[in-house]
Structure 1
Amino acid sequence: MALAHTFKANPHWLKPIPQSAIHNIPGEDGWPLVGNTFRMLRDPVGFGRRMIATYGPVFRNNAFGGPQVNMVGPDANELLLFDRDKVFSSEQGWGPLLNLLFPRGLMLMDFDKHRADRKVMAVAFKPEPMRHYAEVLNEGISRQVSNWANKPINFYDAVKELTLDLAAESFLGMDLGPEATKINKAFVDEVQASVTPIRVPLPGTAMAKGVKARQYLVEFFLAEIPKRRAGTGQDFFSQFCRATDDEGQPLSDMAIADHMNFLMMAAHDTITSSATSLVMLLGRNPEWQEKLRAEIAELGLNDEEGLAYGQLDRLELTDFAFKEALRLIPPVPSLPRRALKPFSFGGYAIPAGANCNIAVAYTHMMPEIWPEPEKFDPMRFAPDQVRGRHKYAWVPFGGGAHMCLGLHFATMQIRILMVQLLRRYRIELDEGSGTDWQPWPIPRPKDGLPLRFIPLG
């Protein structure tokens, strides 16, 4: 079974380095051909902890077809994400995982090209569109969660369906209708393919399913582009189709389709994971349900009102709780980059061409930064606590030029969801609910998080 990278690398990519090029760094190469891929997939948390305990915060590994340098801790996060000297490529870091699935997504762009496309896409997250999204989110979430009373629900599945509908309404300006199930499955297939050990789309493999899913989604977007370019719609997709770059040129149809494919995935898959972890943690910590419910009550909303855009900042404790959920279960547990130049870190010389990873999930659990790291304690994010902490100790949204473009949309959606849920219901988890999570590629509970929403008396 050949596991080498089979995507077509862009001509400017550096050539792969041999394993021997990083043998000055302690670590393990693993088995022939597969390296440590299967060990990592089987127990990524345990594997990472063992490697760090054995080799320290900088170690080498071999997985997903190539050698890697892993760097742990806030200083490593800052070095790779802030990237003051433009040493690291996000395109070449994510490429081996995503190039067959999300080519030309923002994460697969660097420097000037990334900046230009990000600037065009940023129009979707300015205050006026965000006010519109707030209205759409309030209406859509209220309509859905009002049907969740006193019935057994697998929350992950329910909220994934909801977030896809909300992303479609917010960004596409359309109801997906019967197509929604097929679209949702296509996104699932793309995401799962990103970490499959078999990196070729052989028939019957996860990668083949992912590549087929991408083709379906791209064709879905391409079919919409001509009428969106000619129309006057104010949804993000329509505005994006009519937008021009700094030279007055529109983006190509394929660039738009690929950006929309990536944006829609991120706008519902990562939010689904984050919403599920927060609801689970509130179910396990009912005293925090009460604190957030009291904060929501202070807004003085009547039964028909949603959370207005201008009220978002008043939910301080809700924000702390969401941040703590993102600390405990970050939706993107690790972030890859590729060194374009040689550099040094932790006393080791690392060559150009090295694939480098930072461990977001591990950094979020370091006891020297987070006392009692397994404990759910939203007050870690009170201003006096944040001031004394390394700026890159908490990085669920990444950082630097590649900071998640939709982080404010995600935060707004979670706050509105909490308002609509907690002023109606008490969250009661089933026995053992959410005990075991699939950590990669985007964390999700293997049991779907069974629970009930009990109406408040």
Structure 2
Amino acid sequence: MATLAQAPRTPAQAPAKAPGHWSELRLSEADLAHIPGEAGWPVVGNTFTMLADPHAFAERMIRTHGKVYKNRAFGGWQVALIGAEANELLLFNKDKIFSSEQGWGPILDQLFPRGLMLMDFDHHRIDRRALSIAFKPEPMRHYSGALNRGIAREVANWAGDLQFYPAIKKLTLDLAADSFIGLPWGPEADKINVAFVDMVQASVAPVRRPLPFTKMKKGVDGRAYLVDYFTQETLRRRAEGGGQDMFSQFATATREDGSLLPVDEVVDHMNFLMMAAHDTITSSATALIYYLAKYPEWQEKLREEVFAVTGGPDGDGNPRPLDYDDLAKLDLTEMAFKESLRLIPPVPSMPRRALREFEYGGYRIPAGAMVGINIHWTHHSEEYWENPERFDPMRFTPDKVRERHKYAWVPFGGGAHMCLGLHFAYMQVKILMAQLLQRYRIEAEPGYRPSWQDWPIPQPRDGLKVRFTPL
């Protein structure tokens, strides 16, 4: 297939905004004829091939076509841009070429509309600033207390053999009820958990219409249930006054002009945040537990750090809570978490839509093109990481980080859309590690390697079989 010459080109003058909404316009194969790639099977394209093994598919495409290639899946064409430089181009978005709203729209619009990821530029900046109040020091200190209490109560019952993924998934939902909502959910917790699972699974369902008995129908029904729940709760919070929990902060947040966010936008933000916090933290914590079980020497190093910071269990053998002011002292724990995020990033790839024509890698990418980066590939590339499949938290010493391309590690995204709750994620995982490592030795069978479902958010297919042996 023909490609453009690699010589530099002068970018063409482009329209100031996208040529139509993503739902109104899809580029044809002719529009992308100069970019190498594959159409896949009739009608479905490469959708099922990608879902079966997305990382192997990407490796083959890069090996065959290079670091800029086109691919037809999920009903349309996408252009993949591969590597740290591509990550920087899309995430930093210096020239405002790319729309996050229109990139995620085809995947999430039926399920998580108007979440922060589905906003661009001024609208995104204004709402992000309003919502950031929930992550200021005073609310974060409140969350840390709730996390310490909730995690200590639950993990006390984890001794013995355990499927970690469903256990941590239940725990993160319970923690969300306390830290995010500020009230116990009781019997509604199971319904809410099912709704979130259905929505996330529907986000990459091959059938994009909510037809009966499809994943998309279950996801849309889950959204309807949560919209009703969060709408009622938003109105109640505003009537009764604010609180320190995250939902109350969102419900009473104001924009720069002092106006409250519309109720339906509060609901959509809360819906999206719950999905992001619930499923990504579940995936990330599971990855860290797996690597600590696999590499007991690193587990011991983290345990020594935790004991040094907390003082170890009290006289009755109960783990001491991790004080909010001590979070920053767990350097090695944070480095181990970052390394697990490198190896198993909770968001393996990230889409955008080009609002105007641009040049990358010697190719002209037309306005309207759906484009995406592959975070997992960059995190595993020998271009940026020595022996990339090895678990080595020392990759994240300050010196090592300075030597590396800034966008070679992007599990939280980057630029204006950097994950708003990343510090909450660090806090929750550190408190979890402090409780577990003061109480248990985390073990797995020799040679154990679980199979991972890679999309939409990684999870072990067998639930991650580990053993928590009391110290």
TM (norm. structure 1) is: 0.96
1:268 shift after superposition: 1.1
1:236 aligns with 2:246: yes
Alignment of 1:158-177 (within 5 A): 158-177=167-186
Which segment drifts farther, 236-245 or 89-98?
Answer: 236-245
1:355 aligns with 2:370: yes
SS of the counterpart of 1:298?
helix
CA–CA distance in structure 1, aligned partners of residues 448 and 229 of structure 2: 36
Letter in 2 for 1:50: R
1:117 aligns with 2:127: yes
Selected match of 2:295 from 285, 288, 313: 285
Selected match of 1:208 from 213, 217, 221: 217
The answer as to whether partners of 2:312 and 2:438 remain within 8 angstroms in 1 is no
The answer as to whether partners of 2:21 and 2:102 remain within 8 angstroms in 1 is no
SS of the counterpart of 1:133?
helix
CA–CA distance in structure 2, aligned partners of residues 12 and 38 of structure 1: 26
Q: Deviations over 1:357-394 (max 9, x none)?
A: 10000000001211111110110111111111000000
Letter in 1 for 2:240: G
CA–CA distance in structure 2, aligned partners of residues 308 and 174 of structure 1: 23
CA–CA distance in structure 1, aligned partners of residues 197 and 296 of structure 2: 32
Alignment of 1:262-411 (within 5 A): 262-299=272-309, 300-303=311-314, 305-411=320-426
CA–CA distance in structure 1, aligned partners of residues 469 and 313 of structure 2: 20
CA–CA distance in structure 1, aligned partners of residues 249 and 285 of structure 2: 28
Alignment of 1:148-163 (within 5 A): 148-150=158-160, 152-163=161-172
Q: Which runs of 5+ in 1 are unaligned?
A: 1-8
Instruction: Provide the alpha-carbon RMSD of the alignment.
Output: 1.4
1:194 aligns with 2:194: no
CA–CA distance in structure 1, aligned partners of residues 216 and 453 of structure 2: 18
The answer as to whether partners of 2:19 and 2:368 remain within 8 angstroms in 1 is no
SS of the counterpart of 1:197?
coil
1:140 shift after superposition: 0.5
The answer as to whether partners of 1:434 and 1:446 remain within 8 angstroms in 2 is no
CA–CA distance in structure 2, aligned partners of residues 132 and 434 of structure 1: 38
The answer as to whether partners of 1:91 and 1:108 remain within 8 angstroms in 2 is yes
Selected match of 1:75 from 79, 85, 90: 85
1:314 shift after superposition: 0.7
1:252 aligns with 2:252: no
1:32 shift after superposition: 1.9
1:95 aligns with 2:108: no
CA–CA distance in structure 1, aligned partners of residues 224 and 217 of structure 2: 11
Selected match of 2:25 from 9, 12, 15: 15
Alignment of 1:20-39 (within 5 A): 20-39=30-49
CA separation of 1:71/1:12 partners in 2, compared to 1, >3 Å: closer, same or farther? closer
TM (norm. structure 2) is: 0.93
CA–CA distance in structure 2, aligned partners of residues 351 and 376 of structure 1: 39
SS of the counterpart of 2:350?
strand
CA–CA distance in structure 2, aligned partners of residues 108 and 433 of structure 1: 39
SS of the counterpart of 1:451?
strand
1:112 shift after superposition: 0.5
Q: Deviations over 1:164-194 (max 9, x none)?
A: 1111211110111111111111100000000
Selected match of 2:58 from 38, 45, 48: 48
Letter in 2 for 1:126: K
SS of the counterpart of 1:423?
helix
The answer as to whether partners of 1:307 and 1:416 remain within 8 angstroms in 2 is yes
The answer as to whether partners of 1:37 and 1:197 remain within 8 angstroms in 2 is yes
Question: 1:4 matched to which residue of 2?
Answer: none
Question: 1:227 matched to which residue of 2?
Answer: 236
Q: Which runs of 5+ in 2 are unaligned?
A: 1-17
CA–CA distance in structure 2, aligned partners of residues 449 and 433 of structure 1: 9
Selected match of 1:108 from 112, 118, 142: 118
The runs of at least 4 aligned residues of structure 1 exceeding 6 Å deviation read none
Q: Deviations over 1:61-97 (max 9, x none)?
A: 0111110100110000000000000000000000000
Aligned-residue sequence identity (percent) comes to 62
Question: 2:191 matched to which residue of 1?
Answer: 182
